[in-house]
A and B are shown apart, each in its own frame.
Chain A
């Protein structure tokens, strides 16, 4: 028998160490230490109800366990085999205790569709993929469906593009299928560029076959025989796995001429990107593949009409493709029951920032931010206070406490002032300065704008400069108005999605954290203590004993004072490195 005690940061803070000790002690006393092992585990993610103790092999799940409960667990459960009812998790719906964790709703918070094979199969062995139904969907589509039927199935599934825009995939295919040409192309957009997002890389590294299969299905549907994967050269492992997979598929005859004897031919080539964020925009991506400068052009014409080499081209993102084979195997009606009214299926998020369980998660659309952060992500690091979550990367916005219970889907996120984007989710706590956060994203956009249109090229630069001025404490109230007007004009006039969304981090922080901006501008204060120019290190004369340690460590000689007398910091010289505060043994130095 095993007693698993959650050792996640959240549970540790609520004394899971003590629980382990007590359990061990109880077992020792009862002489059970050889039969029962107490094991500290990683985070269950269910920190709201922590600390958690799970009993194996019967999967009993105890929540909010206190050290003093150790005794009753050992005496009742271990010795007598009776579950301790008061510690069981109660179903919020009917308040009934659930004893076997396999029946707990908490396990249904995550559903892995796009990531179904990631971490399960060996990506370099096609046999493992086939054993888990790879290429069965392709076979089904090729042998049982006409392209029109297959497109209809995709439309019925309600799948929307996972790259950011959320355009209905089936509709995109339909439009591309209706344009006639001697050659058409299917392009997989693997130019993942949002800071902090890496789900596409993980899918290609963990399950390249799902993407290859979906591209072939896509080719069949729109009448294309050539597929291209536009992948950034910074993803060497994904490239290698994809190459291995493509070669294996070709050897098996599932790519190439006359696939499965159906007369349908399809093959895939790779194209490497040099890592420009804007090349995730489909027209820029196509120009880059053609060897031109990677910058967007005005749509229409859409790629479905005139894309790669002027031919009808369908571009979908990696995660979108990864969903597709399952949709054909389990049916559009299975898929469209998952999610919300207008956003079907699941979405993969890359959880990052001040959250305990940094990683990849996949949740059904409609899951709330609270569930993601507190029940999957394990809550905020070091027990700090949640402040905001940034979704949608540089195109997205910052959502706050009041948005925590909003079900996540394309439309809700846009209504809240952010967007789905490719699924980066960065959690911020009280130590994050929202003006600096906005400036961080603008820094990225300024760097990654292609420079083609004036509002994006110059406007974002000016936005960044304005934010910088505010962070330095030199902003005025007029600057805030300028920020807002400039943001709206950039959104309204930019050529492509990059500029049309780049001011979102500014607008959403202005909307949700106006008081923080005001503090920077009016009070010259940064409450998070991030903006160096607004900070002052001050020596409290009372605890200061005049040991001179701070004065000796100060690299710029800003600290003066008599030995054994109180010291002071000359603010005009101080560079705010913080060395003095680290050195002081008497906690006499603080930040203001």
Chain B
């Protein structure tokens, strides 16, 4: 681990990490890198998010899908926990709610493999600071 010793260090680090993320998100390489984020705040975990996350990690590997599964915080849709966000290459991310193992299986088989949406999508209804430029 390199210590961040100056402003320049921090800026370089940010640029590198940003590129890494961009490559992952916008890379036009042939590899199909799927990103799955599981909302693992207290509300999510209480509703079973841990199981869902384990399911995705195990099953995506078993089914030979090149994917990154990470945890994240609360997405705000507490009524529909566990919630996950799936981002397929070159597509807008999609949030699914009420995800259990059965639903997770359906998401892998239909959405991740074939791009077919499945019921349980949570429509995103907020603006982020990235696109707010008042």
> Which residues from chain A sit less than 8 Å from chain B, CB to CB?
2, 4, 6-7, 37, 39-46, 54, 56, 106-113, 115-125, 127-128, 130-131, 133, 135-136, 139, 142-143, 198, 201-203, 205-207, 235, 237-238, 251-254, 260-261, 326, 330, 334, 337-338, 356-362, 376
Contact = CB atoms under 8 A, between A and B. Distances in A.
A77 B28 CA distance: 31
26 contacts: A37-B117, A43-B123, A107-B127, A111-B126, A111-B129, A117-B73, A119-B75, A121-B73, A125-B70, A127-B17, A128-B17, A130-B14, A130-B17, A131-B14, A133-B14, A202-B41, A202-B43, A205-B73, A252-B3, A252-B4, A253-B4, A254-B4, A261-B6, A358-B78, A362-B126, A376-B125
B7 A143 contact: yes
B13 interface: yes
A207 B134 CA distance: 24
A450 B14 CA distance: 47
Contacts of A330: 129
A436 B120 CA distance: 36
A112 B79 contact: no
Most A CB contacts (10 A, CB to CB) among B73, B118, B122 go to B73
A493 B41 CA distance: 40
B118 to A, nearest CB: 6
B45 A237 contact: yes
A356 B10 contact: no
Interface in B99-134: 116-123, 125-129, 132, 134
A205 B42 CA distance: 8
A137 B80 CA distance: 34
Contacts of A7: 119
Contact of B74 (A118, A130, A131, A139): A118
Interface string B60-104: 000000000011111111111000010000000000011000000
A123 B7 contact: no
A131 B5 CA distance: 17
A184 B14 CA distance: 31
Nearest to B17: A131
Contacts of A107: 125-127
Contacts of B40: 205
Contacts, number: 180
Contacts of A237: 41-42, 45
Contact of A39 (B5, B6, B117): B117
A125 B41 CA distance: 15
A337 B5 contact: no
Contacts of A40: 119-120
B52 interface: no
Contacts of A127: 17, 20
A32 to B, nearest CB: 14
B125 A118 contact: no
A205 B4 contact: no
> What 6 A-B pairs have minimum CB-CB distances, sorted nearest first?
A206-B73, A119-B75, A110-B126, A253-B3, A131-B17, A360-B76
Contacts of B1: 251-252
Given A42-B97, A131-B21, A237-B45, A115 B122 contact: no
A139 B13 CA distance: 13
In this complex, which of B70, B120, B121, B122 has the most chain A Cβ atoms within 10 angstroms of its Cβ? B121
B132 A111 contact: yes
B75 A118 contact: yes
A399 B97 CA distance: 31
B4 A113 contact: no
Given A139-B7, A261-B6, 5 more contacts: A119-B85, A128-B17, A198-B42, A252-B1, A359-B77
Contacts of A338: 132, 134
Given A110-B127, A237-B45, A41 B122 contact: yes
B17 A56 contact: no
Contact of B123 (A41, A251, A326, A359): A41
